[in-house]
Amino acid sequence: MGMDLTDLDLVLPVATLDNRRILYSFGEDFGQISVIGNVLLGPANDGTGAGLAEVLSWFKTNRVSVSQTTVSISTPGNESYKFFATGMSIMQPDPEFHIQPFVVRGVLDSPAAAK
| pLDDT tens for the chain, residues 1 to 115 | 788 888 888 999 999 999 999 999 998 888 899 999 999 887 655 666 678 888 999 999 999 999 989 999 887 777 888 999 999 999 998 888 888 999 999 999 865 444 4
Partners of 3 in beta bridges:
35
H or E stretch covering 3: strand 2-6
What domains are there in the chain, each with its CATH number?
2-108 (2.40.30.200)
Is the pTM of the predicted complex or chain greater than 0.85? Answer: no
Classify 9 as helix, strand or coil.
Answer: strand
- Give the Å distances, CA to CA, from 51 to 39, 46, 57: 6, 12, 10
